[in-house]
C-alpha cells in the first residue's frame, strides 16, 4: 500500500456519496462508518487522515451489450466476457446487476504515488518530470510473474482503497505540481471509465495523461480514450501465443492489434518487454519481435527490456541475467529499432539515451533520476537530428489523434 | 463409543492401504457408511408439502426430511446414529452456504445445525459461512460473531479473524488465496449449495459452491469452469475436510442461473444428500436436466454449458459420476 493518505485533500461530497451507495445498497461490502472514515484532519490543505475502506463503488460501465436473460457481454477488452446477473467479468471489477453492467472501481484508488516518469518507464516523455501515478484493484489478464499481484489479482473489496473522484485527483496532482497523471500499477483498462473521465478533465486543467497498460483493449474504447491521453506505454509480454496463454492467461494477437491501432492514432508510445529467463528470452523470439516492431510501428518506438525478479507464481526461476538483457537490446538495435534500453538494472549504460544518428549521449540516467538532458528543442545538439518523443508539456497537450 | 472406534479403525486401515496418499474424506466416510457396498449412495428426499408456502413455515418438516435422508444415507437405525456416523463432538464444522443469486434457504441450514447438535457438536463450533456478511444477511441468515451460539459470518468479516490467506495456493491450474474460515477455523466442511442452473458451469452445485472459498473465482470461468472447479475442491483445504453435501432443492431454478430469475423458479421441495460429493452433484445435475426437458429446454450439454466438472472430478478419482453406478435412493 502506497502513501495514499498524504496525497489527497478531503473527499468531496460526491466521493462519499458513491461510497455511501456502495455501503447501503445491493453489494454493500464495506463496514466502516463513512462519517468517521475521513475526519477533518487537513494539513497544508492536502493531507488526509483516517482509515481506508474495503468496498466497491458502483458506477455505470461503458462498452457492454445486453444479452438475453439479464446477461451482458462486455466489449471493453478482447475477452468479451458474457456475464450473468450477479456475476463479474474476468477482471473482477465489473459486475452485472440485473442486466446492467457496472464498474466497481470508479475512483477507488488502492495505490497513489508521485513517481518519476522514468519509473513507468517512459524515457522519451518529458524526462525528469513526475507522474501522479494511480491504480485500482483488478486486471484483465493474469501474469504469473506479476510484480503487483497484491492489487492486480484481487477484487476491489479485498484491498484497501480511498475514494477519489476525478476533480480531487486533479487537485492533488496540481498540488504536487505533476504535469502528468499515470494510470498504472494494476491494469488501467479495467478502470477505463475513471481513466477516461479523469484524462478528459485533466486536459482541461493542463495536465497530461499516460496509460501504462498490457494493451488488452478493444479498438473502439482505445480510440475514444486516446482523444484524452498524451502517451501510452504497452507491456509487450512476449512474441508467442504460447507465452501469452500459459504465463498470462491471455492472447498475443489482440495486443498486436492494439499496437497497430496506437500507431495509427499517432500517440506517443513506448514498449516494455519483461524478460523472463527460459520463457521469452530466446534470441529468435526477440529478433522476430524487433522485426515486427520495425515493420508495423517503425524504428522510433523505444523498447525497454526489463529484468524479471521471482515473484507471485513464478518463484522457481532466477533473476534475468544482465547479459540476457544486453543481448536482447543488441538484437533489437540490429533489427533497426532506434532506442532500446535495459531496465531494472541500475547504473547500466543502456539506461542512457544516445542519438540514433550520431550516438551522442543525450540523456544520462541514474536509476530513475535524470543526471542531464541535452536534447534541445527536440533535437540532438550534436547533429541536429530530431529525437522522437514528447519533450514538453505544450507538445504533450497539443496531441490529437491522427485518425 | 463403538461407533467411533470402528470408524477410526476403518480410517486407519484405509490410510495404511493408501500408502500415505490422502483419500478424500468424503470417500472414506462413504466407504465407512457403506462398508459392505461399493456404490456411492445419494438420497433424494422430497415432500410435496414443501413445494408450497414459505419454507420458514416448514422447519419441522425439513428437519424430519433431512434426518430421514441421513438415516437412509448411513443405514443408521435412527437420526442421532446417522449424524454421529459422520460427525464427532470435537469437530469444528463449517457449513458453506451459497448466497450469490438464488440462495441457500436458512431453514435447510437450521435442519443441518439440528443434526450436528444431535451428533454432539457444540453450537459454538459450527460456522455458517460464505463470502460476504451482507449477502448472508440478505439471504436471511442471522450474523453471529459473538463467542456464543452458532457462528455465522462472511469471509469478509476480518474483524473476527476471517479474510483470505495472504499466501497463494496452487492446485492444478488455479492459484488462489483461500478463505481463512476454511483454512483455519473449521476441520469439517458441509457444502450446502442450491439446485440451480449456471450460465457457465452448467450447474452450480456442491463442488461449484467452493468457488466461494477462494478470492479470485472470476479468473476461472473459461471452458465451463473446468477443470478449475475440480482444482479448487482438490486442494487439501477443501478435499480433506469435506464430509457431506446437502443440496438445497427446496426452491430450485432450472435456467438462467445463478442469479434469481422468477420465470425459471422451480419448487422441487426436496434435498439431495450424499457423502460422495461427485455423485451428489451428478444426481443433482441429472434432476436439473430432467426438469429442463419437462419445460422444453435443451439439456445443459446441448445448451453450450455441459457440467464438465462433474466428470472431470470422477476422472480424477474424487467420486462417482456415472449415474448407473450410483445408488440413488428416493425418500
Ligand atoms: Zn546526433
Question: If residue A192 lies in a helix (H) or strand (E), which one and from where to where?
Answer: helix A192-204
Q: How much of chain B, in percent, has pLDDT values that exceed 70?
A: 89
Cα A352 to ligand 1 centroid, rounded to whole Å: 14
- Name the one residue in this structure whose C-alpha cell is 471452458: B223
> What pLDDT band is residue B249 in, cutting at 50, 70 and 90?
very high
What dotted CATH number matches B38-330? 3.40.50
Cα A338 to ligand 1 centroid, rounded to whole Å: 12
Predicted pLDDT of residue B202: 97
Question: If residue A118 lies in a helix (H) or strand (E), which one and from where to where?
Answer: none
b/e code A54-65 from CB counts within 10 Å (16+ = b)? bbbbbbebbbbe
User: Looking at residue A319, what DSSP letter applies?
Assistant: P
Predicted pLDDT of residue A29: 31
Domain of A83 in residue numbering reads as 59-103
Give the three-class secondary structure for A235: strand
> What pLDDT band is residue A231 in, cutting at 50, 70 and 90?
very high
Whether A250 is in a domain gets the answer: yes
Q: Stretch B104-122: mean pLDDT, rounded?
A: 98
Q: Stretch A357-380: mean pLDDT, rounded?
A: 96
Closest approach of chain A CAs to the CA of B244, in angstroms? 27
Q: Stretch B214-235: mean pLDDT, rounded?
A: 97
**Pair (A90, A126) in one structural domain:** no
CB contact under 8 A, B199 and A28: no
Phi, then psi, of B243 in degrees rounded to 5 = -115, -25
Out of B168, B198, B221, name the one closest to residue A313 (CB): B168
> What pLDDT band is residue A314 in, cutting at 50, 70 and 90?
very high
How many C-beta atoms lie closer than 10 Å to residue A251's C-beta? Answer: 15
Please, which residues bridge with residue B129 across strands? B96, B153
d(CA A248, CA A274): 12
> What pLDDT band is residue A7 in, cutting at 50, 70 and 90?
low
**Pair (A298, A375) in one structural domain:** yes
**What is the sign of the dihedral through the CA atoms of B13, B14, B19 and B20?**
negative
List the end-to-end C-alpha distance of chain B, in Å, as a whole number.
29
**CB distance from B134 to chain A under 8 Å?**
yes
Whether A209 is in a domain gets the answer: yes
- Which of A31, A38, A36, A30 is CA-nearest to residue A4? A38
**Range with the lowest mean pLDDT among A20-29, A302-311, B76-85?**
A20-29
> What pLDDT band is residue A402 in, cutting at 50, 70 and 90?
confident
**Pair (A91, A146) in one structural domain:** no
> What pLDDT band is residue A53 in, cutting at 50, 70 and 90?
confident
d(CA A285, CA A57): 42
Interface test with A, best of B136, B163, B219, B297 (most A CBs within 10 A): B219
Predicted pLDDT of residue B45: 98
Q: Stretch B317-331: mean pLDDT, rounded?
A: 97
Predicted pLDDT of residue A22: 36
Cα B325 to ligand 1 centroid, rounded to whole Å: 79
CB contact under 8 A, B100 and A86: yes
Residues of A in contact with B198 (CB under 8 A): 84
Predicted pLDDT of residue A13: 56
**What is the sign of the dihedral through the CA atoms of A143, A149, A152 and A153?**
positive
Cα A267 to ligand 1 centroid, rounded to whole Å: 24
Instruction: Give the residue from chain B lying closest to A311, CA to CA.
Output: B168
pLDDT above 70 (res B280) = yes
Whether A12 is in a domain gets the answer: no
pLDDT above 90 (res B184) = yes
Whether A66 is in a domain gets the answer: yes
How many C-beta atoms lie closer than 10 Å to residue A130's C-beta? Answer: 20
d(CA B230, CA B83): 27
**Range with the lowest mean pLDDT among A71-85, A389-403, B6-20, B95-109?**
B6-20
pLDDT above 50 (res B17) = no
**Pair (A89, A218) in one structural domain:** no
Residues of B in contact with A90 (CB under 8 A): 218-219, 221
Question: Torsion angle of alpha carbons B67, B70, B76, B78, nearest 10°?
Answer: 0
CB contact under 8 A, A86 and B259: yes
pLDDT above 80 (res A43) = no
CB contact under 8 A, B216 and A155: yes
**Pair (A214, A279) in one structural domain:** yes
b/e code A162-177 from CB counts within 10 Å (16+ = b)? bbbbbbbbbbbbeeee
pLDDT above 80 (res B29) = no
| Ramachandran sector of residue B251 (left: φ over 0; alpha: ψ -120 to 50; beta: rest) | beta
Residues of A in contact with B156 (CB under 8 A): 29, 31, 54, 157
**What is the sign of the dihedral through the CA atoms of A342, A344, A347 and A353?**
positive
Phi, then psi, of B114 in degrees rounded to 5 = -60, -45
**Pair (A235, A364) in one structural domain:** yes
- Name the one residue in this structure whose C-alpha cell is 466497491: A56
Interface test with A, best of B103, B169, B199, B201 (most A CBs within 10 A): B199
Predicted pLDDT of residue B39: 82
Q: Stretch B260-269: mean pLDDT, rounded?
A: 95
**Range with the lowest mean pLDDT among A47-51, A360-364, B27-31?**
A47-51
C-alpha cell at A380: 540532438
Whether A171 is in a domain gets the answer: yes
Interface test with B, best of A58, A86, A314 (most B CBs within 10 A): A86
Whether A381 is in a domain gets the answer: yes
The count of structural domains within chain A is 2
pLDDT above 70 (res B108) = yes
Write out pLDDT tens, residues A292-301: 999 999 999 9
Instruction: Give the residue from chain B lying closest to A55, CA to CA.
Output: B156
Whether A165 is in a domain gets the answer: yes
Predicted pLDDT of residue A14: 58
Pairing, β A130-135 against β A180-183: parallel
d(CA B181, CA B242): 13
> What pLDDT band is residue A346 in, cutting at 50, 70 and 90?
confident
A residues 233-292 near B, CB within 8 Å?
249
**What is the sign of the dihedral through the CA atoms of B114, B120, B125 and B129?**
negative
* A/B interface, count of CB pairs below 8 Å: 74
d(CA A133, CA A3): 11
Write out pLDDT tens, residues A251-275: 999 999 999 999 999 999 999 999 9
**CB distance from B259 to chain A under 8 Å?**
yes
Closest approach of chain B CAs to the CA of A244, in angstroms? 15
The domain locations on chain B are 38-330
CB contact under 8 A, A82 and B199: yes
Would you tell me the crossing angle of helices A253-265 and A219-226 to the nearest 10 degrees?
30
Instruction: Give the residue from chain B lying closest to A149, CA to CA.
Output: B168
CB contact under 8 A, A155 and B134: no
**Pair (A334, A256) in one structural domain:** yes
Write out pLDDT tens, residues A137-152: 999 999 999 999 999 9
d(CA A74, CA A235): 22
d(CA B310, CA B321): 6
Per residue, what are the HEC states of B206-259? CCHHHHHHECCHHHHCCHHHCCHHHHHHHCHHHHCCEEEEEEEEEEEECCCCCC
Predicted pLDDT of residue A11: 56
Residues of A in contact with B168 (CB under 8 A): 149, 312-313
Predicted pLDDT of residue A5: 52
Write out pLDDT tens, residues A165-193: 999 999 999 999 999 999 999 999 999 99
Residues of B in contact with A149 (CB under 8 A): 168
Distances from the Cα of A212 to the Cα of A187, A232, A233, A393, angstroms: 8, 6, 5, 18
**Pair (A122, A89) in one structural domain:** no
Whether A13 is in a domain gets the answer: no
**Pair (A118, A96) in one structural domain:** no
> What pLDDT band is residue B26 in, cutting at 50, 70 and 90?
very low
Phi, then psi, of B203 in degrees rounded to 5 = -135, 140
- Which of A112, A86, A118 is CA-nearest to residue A99? A86
In CATH, what number is assigned to the domain containing residue A220?
Answer: 3.20.20.70
d(CA A193, CA A2): 23
Closest approach of chain B CAs to the CA of A116, in angstroms? 30
Predicted pLDDT of residue A18: 52
**CB distance from B12 to chain A under 8 Å?**
no
d(CA A227, CA A220): 11
C-alpha cell at B105: 434457504
pLDDT above 50 (res A45) = no
CB contact under 8 A, B164 and A158: yes
- Which of A395, A397, A11 is CA-nearest to residue A208? A397
Predicted pLDDT of residue B150: 98
Closest approach of chain B CAs to the CA of A37, in angstroms? 16
d(CA A63, CA A103): 11
CB contact under 8 A, A31 and B133: yes
**Pair (A69, A127) in one structural domain:** no
Q: Stretch B287-291: mean pLDDT, rounded?
A: 98
A residues 118-157 near B, CB within 8 Å?
142, 144, 149, 153-155, 157
Give A246 or A6, the one with higher predicted confidence: A246
Predicted pLDDT of residue A4: 55
Mind giving me the DSSP string for A224-251? HHHTT-SEEEEE---S-HHHHHHHHSS-
Last residue of a domain, one of A74, A103, A132: A103
Residues of B in contact with A153 (CB under 8 A): 216, 219
A residues 94-123 near B, CB within 8 Å?
96, 98
Amino acid at each position: 500500500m502506497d502513501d495514499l493518505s498524504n496525497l489527497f485533500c478531503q473527499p468531496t461530497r460526491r466521493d462519499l456519496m458513491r461510497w455511501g451507495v456502495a455501503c447501503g445498497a445491493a453489494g454493500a461490502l464495506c463496514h466502516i462508518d463513512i462519517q468517521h472514515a475521513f475526519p477533518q484532519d487537513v494539513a497544508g490543505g492536502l493531507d488526509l487522515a483516517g482509515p481506508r475502506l474495503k468496498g466497491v463503488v458502483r458506477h455505470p460501465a461503458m462498452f457492454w451489450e445486453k444479452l438475453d436473460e439479464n446477461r451482458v457481454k462486455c466489449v471493453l477488452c478482447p475477452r468479451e466476457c458474457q456475464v450473468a446477473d450477479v456475476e463479474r467479468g474476468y477482471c473482477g471489477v465489473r459486475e452485472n446487476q440485473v442486466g446492467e453492467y457496472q464498474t466497481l472501481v470508479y475512483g477507488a484508488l488502492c495505490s497513489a504515488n508521485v513517481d518519476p516518469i522514468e519509473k513507468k518507464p517512459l524515457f522519451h516523455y518529458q524526462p525528469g518530470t513526475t507522474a501522479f501515478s494511480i491504480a485500482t484493484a483488478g486486471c484483465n489478464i493474469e501474469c504469473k510473474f506479476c510484480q503487483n499481484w497484491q492489487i492486480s489479482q484481487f477484487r476491489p473489496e479485498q484491498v484497501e482503497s480511498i475514494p477519489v473522484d476525478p476533480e480531487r485527483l486533479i487537485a492533488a496532482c496540481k498540488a504536487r505540481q505533476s504535469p502528468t497523471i499515470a494510470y498504472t500499477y494494476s491494469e488501467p483498462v479495467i478502470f477505463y471509465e475513471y481513466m477516461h473521465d479523469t484524462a478528459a478533465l485533466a486536459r482541461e486543467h493542463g495536465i497530461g495523461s499516460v496509460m501504462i497498460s498490457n494493451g488488452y483493449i478493444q479498438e473502439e474504447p482505445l480510440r475514444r480514450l486516446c482523444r484524452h491521453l498524451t502517451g501510452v506505454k504497452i507491456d509487450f509480454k512476449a512474441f508467442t501465443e504460447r507465452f501469452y496463454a500459459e504465463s498470462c492467461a491471455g492472447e498475443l494477437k489482440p495486443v498486436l492489434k492494439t499496437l497497430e491501432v496506437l500507431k495509427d492514432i499517432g500517440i506517443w508510445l513506448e514498449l516494455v518487454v519483461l524478460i523472463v529467463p527460459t520463457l521469452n528470452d530466446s534470441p529468435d523470439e526477440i529478433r522476430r519481435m524487433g522485426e515486427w516492431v520495425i515493420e508495423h510501428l517503425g524504428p522510433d518506438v523505444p523498447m525497454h527490456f526489463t529484468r524479471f525478479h521471482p515473484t507471485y507464481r513464478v518463484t522457481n526461476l532466477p533473476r534475468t541475467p544482465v547479459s540476457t538483457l544486453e543481448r536482447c537490446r543488441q538484437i533489437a538495435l540490429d533489427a533497426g529499432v532506434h532506442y532500446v534500453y535495459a531496465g531494472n538494472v541500475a547504473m547500466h549504460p543502456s539506461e542512457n539515451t544516445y542519438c540514433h544518428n550520431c550516438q551522442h549521449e543525450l540523456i544520462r540516467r541514474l536509476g530513475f533520476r535524470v543526471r542531464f538532458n541535452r536534447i534541445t528543442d527536440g533535437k540532438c545538439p550534436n547533429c541536429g537530428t530530431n529525437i522522437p518523443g514528447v519533450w514538453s508539456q505544450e507538445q504533450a497537450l497539443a496531441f490529437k489523434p491522427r485518425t | 463409543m463403538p461407533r467411533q472406534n470402528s470408524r477410526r479403525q476403518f480410517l486407519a486401515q484405509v490410510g495404511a492401504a493408501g500408502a500415505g496418499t490422502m483419500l478424500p474424506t468424503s470417500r472414506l466416510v462413504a466407504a465407512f457408511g457403506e462398508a459392505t457396498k461399493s456404490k456411492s449412495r445419494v438420497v433424494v428426499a422430497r415432500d410435496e408439502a414443501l413445494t408450497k408456502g414459505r419454507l420458514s413455515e416448514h422447519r419441522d418438516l425439513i428437519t424430519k426430511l433431512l434426518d430421514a435422508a441421513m438415516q437412509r444415507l448411513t443405514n443408521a437405525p435412527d437420526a442421532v446414529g446417522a449424524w454421529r456416523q459422520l460427525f464427532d463432538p470435537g469437530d469444528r464444522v463449517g457449513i458453506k452456504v451459497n448466497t450469490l443469486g438464488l440462495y441457500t434457504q436458512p431453514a435447510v441450514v437450521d435442519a443441518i445445525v439440528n443434526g450436528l447438535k444431535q451428533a454432539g457438536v457444540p453450537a459454538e463450533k459450527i460456522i455458517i459461512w460464505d463470502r460476504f456478511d451482507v449477502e448472508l444477511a440478505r439471504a436471511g441468515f442471522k450474523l453471529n460473531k459473538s463467542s456464543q451460539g452458532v457462528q455465522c459470518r462472511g469471509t469478509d468479516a476480518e474483524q473476527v479473524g476471517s479474510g483470505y490467506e495472504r499466501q497463494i495456493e496452487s492446485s492444478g491450474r488455479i492459484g488462489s488465496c483461500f478463505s481463512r474460515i476454511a483454512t483455519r477455523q473449521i476441520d469439517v466442511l458441509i457444502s450446502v449449495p442450491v439446485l440451480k442452473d449456471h450460465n457457465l458451469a452448467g450447474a452450480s452445485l456442491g463442488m461449484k459452491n467452493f468457488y466461494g472459498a477462494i478470492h479470485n473465482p472470476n479468473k476461472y470461468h473459461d471452458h465451463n469452469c473446468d477443470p478449475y472447479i475440480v482444482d479448487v475442491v482438490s486442494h487439501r483445504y477443501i478435499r480433506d475436510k469435506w464430509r457431506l453435501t446437502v443440496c438445497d432443492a427446496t426452491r430450485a431454478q432450472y435456467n438462467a442461473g445463478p442469479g434469481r430469475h422468477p420465470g425459471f423458479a422451480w419448487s422441487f421441495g426436496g434435498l439431495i444428500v450424499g457423502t460422495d460429493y461427485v455423485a451428489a452433484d451428478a444426481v443433482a445435475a441429472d434432476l436439473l436436466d430432467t426438469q429442463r426437458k419437462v419445460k422444453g429446454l435443451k439439456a445443459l450439454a446441448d445448451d453450450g454449458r455441459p457440467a464438465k466438472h462433474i466428470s472431470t472430478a470422477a476422472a480424477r478419482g474424487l467420486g462417482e459420476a456415472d449415474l448407473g453406478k450410483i445408488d440413488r435412493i428416493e425418500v
